[in-house]
Structure 1
Amino acid sequence: MVVLVMLLLVLHPHKSCKAHIVKCRIQYPHQPLHTYHKSGDFVIGVIAAHGGFFSSSPTFAEEPPPPLPEELVVAPKGYQLILALAFAVKEINENPRILPNHTFGFHIYDSYDNAEKTYHATMLLLSTLEKFVPNYICDTQNNLTAVIAGLDSEISLHVATILHIFKIPQLIYGPSPVMNDKTTGLSFYQVAPPETVQFEGILSLLLHFRWTWIGVIVMDNDNGERFVQTVFPMFSKSGVCFAFLERIPKYKFASESYDMVQKGAKILDKMVGSKANVVVVYGESYSMVFFRWLPFLQGTAKIRGKVWIITTHTEYISFAFQRNWDPEMFHGAISFKIPFSDLPGFRHYIEGRNPSSIEGDGFIRDFWQQAFGCVFPNPIANKVEESMCTEEEKLEDLPGAFFEMNMTGHSYNIYKAAYAVAHALHAMSSSKLRHRGMVHRRRLKNQKQQFWQLHHFLRSVSFNNSAGDKVSFNQNGEMVTSLDVINWIISSNQSFHRVRIGKMNPQAPPGQALTIDEDAITWPSWFNQTQPLSVCTESCHPGSSKKVKEGEPSCCYDCFPCPEGKFSNQEDMNDCNKCSDEDYPSKNRDACIPKERSFLSFEEPLGISLVCFSLSFSLITALVLGIFMKHHNTPIVKANNRNLTYTLLLALLLCFLSALLFIGQPEKATCLLRQTAFGIVFSVAVSCVLAKTITVVVAFLATKPGSGMRKWMGKRLANSIILSCSIIQAGICTLWLATSPPFPDADMHSVIEEMILECNEGSVFMFYCVLGYMGFLAIISFMVAFFARKLPDSFNEAKFITFSMLAFFSVWLSFIPSYLSTKGKYMVAVEIFSILASSAGLLGCIFSSKCYIIVLRPGLNQKDQLIRRKI
């Protein structure tokens, strides 16, 4: 039932004036127009679809006898829309604060959901009552003020094309019509929330339950196409895909039923064969009666396992012959609903409805017969039917598909629309603008010409109705409100309940518009009270990413494990991500784990071992130095310049201790000192070895008669060699520190699970220059010692120096590949080992034999013993 409401304007001197009943029935081919009249100063016009379609019969043998051929079949539930308007007008007329000294009336016509009859009814609203003469007005009491239409957008558009000419306001309580190039100038006041709010609510609902594979069924008209064109890009952008898209054709007569059955069978096949467990329905007021046919279209095919998501303007309704049809398929459906507050007195008002006690209501008898399945006596036919209407039937006994005692959202919109017009008229009647157009009551007929001014007052209307809800329009003529999310609970005995499970608030912050109480939801019985899953492909688990199948929608994809070094910590990720430099992927590649801070510490076994070796060698070196200093006057100590020996031992002592700079967490000071200190100290040690070797050579050459090498004998040569060689190394280190010094750094990439704390050498070239210079000194020392190893001298150290240089080369030549092939703290350990090994090689090769003689064979440490050995 779709209602077109007409507001008429009639001026009475007092509010107490009784509104008279205008009886009017205009004949139309096949069926008269149903009407419901109440006169008043201000009259609202309403066009309703009380009729459904003209039918002969449904073709199911098990069903009750169908209506007679071409009998009008109605959906009784729409009758509440009419009662909502009548109740609102009754309240307005009884309220002394609204339109005092005036009465409010209405005039309702049935549209029969037919364009031709809708245009006819609209023209009747614009004519004198009982006279269908367009543009002819002779009634000074009943003047059209505004029109409320309609529940279906096409009805609203048909009405608007005529009302726009007369500048009469139209309030829509359903979805707004689709505008095209020919209708862009039409204006409406939409009492229902904008459809964009509902579209966003559907998307939020799908995303909340992660339903990405859905079926969509729309009406085969402009509104259905608008829905598809609007939501398809919106849903696709959010990852929701259409498993199927079907359109419901519009029908009016039983002759079209075969095509409807064929279309229904096709839709049924799509639904049963699809993996989509969620079906979004964008229908119109009567669409539900079509879906109630689906279970009967194919023998054993059962529509199970589907969650219906239904828009606000699609109500749970039935035709009379569908009274006993199984409603199980809609149990657990989720719909959006216009929120409303309980109106005091409304239930009591409708409980008193009775066909014999209501005058002027041309709808109630048809409603009564269709809803209760009875007929009224026909005095002409003088025939008694088996199921006669007794008028003692109770509306509260009707199933929810036929009638609801509580006000529905659409009825509440009509209620608000009537009050909006009343408040706008009240404001207009109180303004100076209206009084300038009415000087005397005898000029009342000119008052109709002023109702174009009502638009201004409707745009600015703002009030709280009797339920306490605020009513106002925004700049677009829309009444922006929230939407309730409703769960349909339907029993096999046709009992119907709505359970509020959430709310869609368009004014909430982003991401918080939809609130859902999942515990309050009753799912279809097929799912055994567990949340349904509606996806094309099972979710890709964390640790993998999805790849869309070629030629398939984006919701159909394959899952692939994340490659090495990447992770995904959510389901259905389009690509795997890299962890930050301080993290690394877990074994399952579903999370990032913080990297361990790795460095050669004093607490770990390797660090402790190297510290022990370093201190041990330092202690041995100090012990050797002490032995030599204690026996500093013995021939072995005095030979080959004992000052060089002391310098060499001190340098080796510092080399062993410098290894400690490489252990522990790198700091700025240790990074600056570790390589440069070792380089300089070890260069001093190698310089001492070189000086010792050259001293041996010079001493041998000086013993030859007439040799000029005697002048080079003494400490000056040795000191010059040590000083010059050490200064060069010190200069290289100074240049290194001045240009690109070492600094603390963290290597994030060499080892996946570790963050290596190290000293960045700054300039790798300068680092190898330091090592290369030490190698150069060692090569010179080796060459000189090798050639001097057989010189006849009891104190000749050249042999020992040669072995020490061979040990040095062995260590450092193996150091380079080992250093480059290791990572982290083990690379540092290799360098420490090289320092300790090369220093220990010098200490052992040069001083072990001397310490043996000094400590264990002191008898050999005599001058005469050495001279005898020399001879």
Structure 2
Amino acid sequence: MVKRTVSMQVLLLILGGILVPASAQVCSLLGQPAFPSLSAERDINIWAIFSIHRNALLKMHNYTSKPDPTTCASLNLREFKFAQTLIFAIEEINNSTQLLPGLSLGYKIYDSCRSFTQTILSGMALMNGYEETLSDTSCFRPPAVHAIVGDSASSSTIGLASVVGPFSLPVISHFATCACLSDRKRYPSFFRTISSDYYQSRALAQLVKNLGWTWVGTVRSRNDYGNNGIAAFEEAAKEEGVCIEYSEAILNNDPQEQFLKTLEVIKKGTARVVLAFIALGDFLPLLKVILQHNITGIQWVGSESWITSQTLAETKEYSFLSGAVGFAIANAKIMGLREFLVNVHPYKEPKNELLKEFWEIVFQCSFNSIGSGCTGSERLAELQNEYTDVSELRIANKVYTAVYAIAYTLHNILKEFRTSTNSSKIGWPIPQMVLKYMRDVRFTVKTGEEIFFDESGDPVARYDLVNWQSAEDGSMRFELVGLYDSSLPSEHLQVNQEHILWAEKSGQLPVSVCSEICPPGTRKAVQKGRPVCCYDCIPCAEGEISNGTDSSDCFPCDLEYWSNESKDRCVLKVVEFLSYTEIMGMVFCIFSFIGVLLTAMVYILFYLQKETCIVRANNSELSFLLLFSLSLCFLCSLTFIGRPTELSCMLRHTTFGITFVLCISCVLGKTIVVLMAFKATLPGSNVMKWFGPAQQRLSVVSLTLMQVIICVLWLTISPPFPYMNLSYYREKIILECNLGSAIGFWAVLGYTGMLSVMCFLLAFLARKLPDNFNEAKFITFSMLIFCAVWLTFIPAYVSSPGKFTVAVQIFAILASSFGLLFCIFAPKCYIILLKPEKNTKKEMMRK
């Protein structure tokens, strides 16, 4: 029941715009009138355009006479249900006392026949304000339309929005999802209650990536819906690292060869997943071709246009679509809609040919036939088809919402007018007023969903993720397995994989990749001339790792770390130094202790034979001091073994330098004694008084003290310290002693070498002195060995890596120490132990 108020006439003046001029003109209609398929005029009329028929029959025009009106064929039950849903929403609003009180809504519904030109023709008729004829008394009429609901297809809606946009006439679509329609500059008066394909395309890209599919094929409608949808998907897929193997475009009126070509591309493709961003009408011919060639095993991913189509789901021949997943508009329940739908009857409007056609199609009868004629007693409630089924009202709910959006907009205009005293509003053009208020409209429908439009005229994007699963009767049912909500702060996509049934009724997630996943320890190398998803797996280089699958790069380990054998983890590098536990360290220790033991044995032997001629003749005091210094030389090699520390680094070089200088000083003193002793045998010579025991001690102390001073300066200015050498080897750390001051090291070594050369030269000069036992010749051999060892030490020391540097230095110490020990003391020990008869004064004095 409709309530009317006194202010209704005033509001109608507002909704009618500027008043009719007093002078009337006679006008005639040019062009062809457009007739609504369903209409009921009331106070305010809502206009709508639906594709009630699937096809507009093409006719050849000879351009000699006015063409006949377009004939439409193949009734679309889904679109017819959309039209009835709009009527249901209008009746519901008219029966409400809360919304538009005192006003009743009417409707005029046009059939675009899925034709672009027919949509434009209907839109022009709505704008011009005529249907059949114009008034014969006036060329001007108030705007007859305040907002248009429709169309279902994106391409025709683009044409409609382009035509009416300059006139600020709001168009609100329930099914045009093309992202291009969000362009406010091109379509300033467009709104929609369904989400833009921009969000659906991004949701599909996230879904594909979430399921691990990086190699997919695409099939699209060759129109604005498919082209823009796939373009947005490709952009989002690229961001997600998903590659597209092929992209095919088709239309329902393409020749059979085009569908066969598309089928051949799908068959030859290696991608197991095919995304069909395609209108239902374009998809059906391709499905028939796929059915004829028995193509199975494809995991289909669908757009909202067909993923919840009852026509496909109820056709058992299309069972190969089992397991398909895709995003659908959120489902809803509209209370009372089924009762309204089944109460539609052609006898209620006897002149309406569309209702008769509907009745004949659903009941397979004819009103003009006698044998199988329609009686009118048939009951829609007993039918189960796409029209009567209200379990899937995803798009129908968007029609319902669009009607309420217009109603709430008009309600807000009425409310503002009643509370405003500004009478100048009466002269405002109505379309601009409706457009202004529709931008700010915000309401909640009975389904519980809050509706509002953003700056682009789009609602919040919400999708259900549905999965096609087989029902007991062989048909398909739509199982909810996830959702996408763009209003969530994060993680817009939620997928429940456990409840998904995949292609061929498999519980195993299909794999669709161009190349197998690269395991940890490898990186991807793109194959030349192919997409980035096609790659080879290259092992990481030494010292680099990748700890995840499908890594694009390998990452170097920190300086103190190195890659393990699998190249998937950084481990601490092996720290290398000469330790006591390894064979080389143990060998050096053994030889060091052997040297100390032999030196001690010689010391004991000399001590026991200290009164014999051979011991006394060779300056026993210097001999004992030399043996002591040799034992220190053997022991100092131990400081080079083990983990370097600050103390060991300072000790190893200083003790080496001091002990060896002490040793060489003793040898030098013995050499000088030999020379002085020979000079003393000459008549009139008194040189021995200048190099007696006191002078010998002083020379040894002085020469050693000089080395001590050099070492103290070295340790004071820049002492050696432990150092981790990371540059010599990449895979291990050399723990060594940094010299601190290279000048200090070479000063110590140079001073020792200088004394050695001096000792060698003096011994060489005295080697042939006419004594029976001339010690100079043994000193010459010992110093020859000493100098040879240390001369070869320098290049070996510089070129040896890691712990071998230390090993070379220890070898030089031990070799030179053993050389001195054997060359100087071995002949004497031989005489003492094996030739005691030569150990006499007489034998020593014999020429």
How high is the TM-score relative to the length of structure 1? 0.79
For 1:311, which of 285, 303, 308 is the aligned residue? Answer: 303
| Structure 2 equivalent of residue 331 of structure 1 | 322
| Structure 2 equivalent of residue 266 of structure 1 | 261
Q: Does 1:452 align with 2:393?
A: no
Secondary structure in structure 2 of the residue aligned to 1:327? helix
Q: Please report the RMSD computed on the Cα atoms of aligned residues, expressed in angstroms.
A: 4.5
**Contact kept? 2:462, 2:485, Cα under 8 Å:** yes
* 1:837-852 correspondence to structure 2 within 5 Å: 837-848=815-826
Aligned partners of 2:317 and 2:31: how far apart in 1? 36
**Contact kept? 1:648, 1:685, Cα under 8 Å:** yes
Aligned partners of 1:10 and 1:186: how far apart in 2? 35
Q: 1:127 to 1:287 in 2, by over 3 A?
A: same
For 1:283, which of 278, 287, 312 is the aligned residue? Answer: 278
Secondary structure in structure 1 of the residue aligned to 2:147? strand
For 2:213, which of 211, 214, 220 is the aligned residue? Answer: 211
User: What code does the residue aligned with 1:706 have?
Assistant: G
* 1:191-202 correspondence to structure 2 within 5 Å: 191-202=193-204
Aligned partners of 1:403 and 1:656: how far apart in 2? 106
Q: Does 1:706 align with 2:684?
A: yes
Aligned partners of 1:14 and 1:357: how far apart in 2? 36
User: What code does the residue aligned with 1:295 have?
Assistant: I
Q: 1:237 to 1:745 in 2, by over 3 A?
A: farther
For 1:866, which of 820, 841, 844 is the aligned residue? Answer: 841
Aligned partners of 1:625 and 1:433: how far apart in 2? 127
Aligned partners of 2:168 and 2:572: how far apart in 1? 71
* 1:794-809 correspondence to structure 2 within 5 Å: 796-809=774-787
Secondary structure in structure 2 of the residue aligned to 1:685? helix
Q: 1:77 to 1:822 in 2, by over 3 A?
A: farther
Question: Could you tell which deviates more after superposition, 328-337 or 29-38?
Answer: 29-38
Q: Does 1:518 align with 2:497?
A: yes
Deviation of 1:767 after TM superposition, in Å, equals 4.8
Gaps of 5+ in 2: 9-29, 59-69
User: What code does the residue aligned with 2:399 have?
Assistant: I
**Contact kept? 1:286, 1:315, Cα under 8 Å:** no
* 1:43-122 correspondence to structure 2 within 5 Å: 43-54=45-56, 72-93=73-94, 95-122=96-123
Q: Does 1:157 align with 2:142?
A: no
Q: 1:132 to 1:539 in 2, by over 3 A?
A: farther
* 1:650-799 correspondence to structure 2 within 5 Å: 650-707=628-685, 709-710=687-688, 712-715=690-693, 717-719=695-697, 721-722=699-700, 725-726=703-704, 729=707, 742-748=720-726, 750=728, 753-761=731-739, 767=745, 770-792=748-770, 796-799=774-777
User: What code does the residue aligned with 2:190 have?
Assistant: F
**Contact kept? 1:41, 1:143, Cα under 8 Å:** no
> Residue by residue, what CA displacement relative to the aligned partner does 1:280-310 show, whole Å, maximum 9, x if unpaired?
22223533323333235xx5x2222222222
Q: Does 1:601 align with 2:575?
A: no
| Structure 1 equivalent of residue 372 of structure 2 | 385
| Structure 1 equivalent of residue 408 of structure 2 | 423
Deviation of 1:267 after TM superposition, in Å, equals 0.8
Question: Could you tell which deviates more after superposition, 304-313 or 726-735?
Answer: 726-735
| Structure 2 equivalent of residue 476 of structure 1 | 456
Deviation of 1:689 after TM superposition, in Å, equals 1.9
Aligned partners of 2:666 and 2:151: how far apart in 1? 109
| Structure 2 equivalent of residue 413 of structure 1 | 398
User: What code does the residue aligned with 1:398 have?
Assistant: N
User: What code does the residue aligned with 2:631 have?
Assistant: L
Aligned partners of 2:140 and 2:299: how far apart in 1? 53
**Contact kept? 2:33, 2:131, Cα under 8 Å:** no
Secondary structure in structure 1 of the residue aligned to 2:723? strand
Deviation of 1:495 after TM superposition, in Å, equals 2.8
Aligned partners of 1:508 and 1:612: how far apart in 2? 75
Q: 1:425 to 1:362 in 2, by over 3 A?
A: farther
Aligned partners of 1:759 and 1:583: how far apart in 2? 21
Aligned identity (percent) is 31
> Residue by residue, what CA displacement relative to the aligned partner does 1:541-600 show, whole Å, maximum 9, x if unpaired?
555555444443344445555566655555555555544444444445565554333333
Aligned length in residues:
810
How high is the TM-score relative to the length of structure 2? 0.81
Q: 1:550 to 1:581 in 2, by over 3 A?
A: same
**Contact kept? 1:746, 1:758, Cα under 8 Å:** yes
Q: Does 1:375 align with 2:364?
A: yes
Aligned partners of 2:487 and 2:653: how far apart in 1? 66
Aligned partners of 2:515 and 2:255: how far apart in 1? 33
**Contact kept? 1:220, 1:250, Cα under 8 Å:** no
Aligned partners of 1:787 and 1:12: how far apart in 2? 142
Aligned partners of 1:245 and 1:465: how far apart in 2? 40
**Contact kept? 2:543, 2:731, Cα under 8 Å:** no
> Residue by residue, what CA displacement relative to the aligned partner does 1:195-253 show, whole Å, maximum 9, x if unpaired?
332222222223233333322222223444434544445534554333222211363xx
Secondary structure in structure 1 of the residue aligned to 2:219? strand
Secondary structure in structure 2 of the residue aligned to 1:199? helix
Deviation of 1:506 after TM superposition, in Å, equals 3.6
| Structure 1 equivalent of residue 288 of structure 2 | 293
**Contact kept? 2:123, 2:163, Cα under 8 Å:** yes
Question: Could you tell which deviates more after superposition, 564-573 or 152-161?
Answer: 564-573
Deviation of 1:619 after TM superposition, in Å, equals 5.6
> Residue by residue, what CA displacement relative to the aligned partner does 1:127-177 show, whole Å, maximum 9, x if unpaired?
6686554997868xx963322323322222222234324322222333146
Aligned partners of 1:344 and 1:114: how far apart in 2? 30
**Contact kept? 1:175, 1:313, Cα under 8 Å:** no
Aligned partners of 2:42 and 2:428: how far apart in 1? 14
**Contact kept? 2:252, 2:283, Cα under 8 Å:** no
Deviation of 1:860 after TM superposition, in Å, equals 7.8
| Structure 1 equivalent of residue 13 of structure 2 | none
**Contact kept? 1:328, 1:491, Cα under 8 Å:** no
Aligned partners of 2:694 and 2:589: how far apart in 1? 37
Q: 1:184 to 1:606 in 2, by over 3 A?
A: same
Aligned partners of 2:382 and 2:714: how far apart in 1? 100
Secondary structure in structure 2 of the residue aligned to 1:244? strand
Aligned partners of 2:470 and 2:308: how far apart in 1? 10
Secondary structure in structure 2 of the residue aligned to 1:431? helix
Aligned partners of 1:501 and 1:407: how far apart in 2? 16
Secondary structure in structure 2 of the residue aligned to 1:833? helix
Deviation of 1:264 after TM superposition, in Å, equals 0.9
Secondary structure in structure 2 of the residue aligned to 1:184? coil
> Residue by residue, what CA displacement relative to the aligned partner does 1:244-263 show, whole Å, maximum 9, x if unpaired?
22211363xxxxxxx43121
**Contact kept? 2:184, 2:456, Cα under 8 Å:** no
Aligned partners of 2:140 and 2:179: how far apart in 1? 29
User: What code does the residue aligned with 1:283 have?
Assistant: I
Aligned partners of 2:389 and 2:685: how far apart in 1? 133
User: What code does the residue aligned with 1:684 have?
Assistant: L
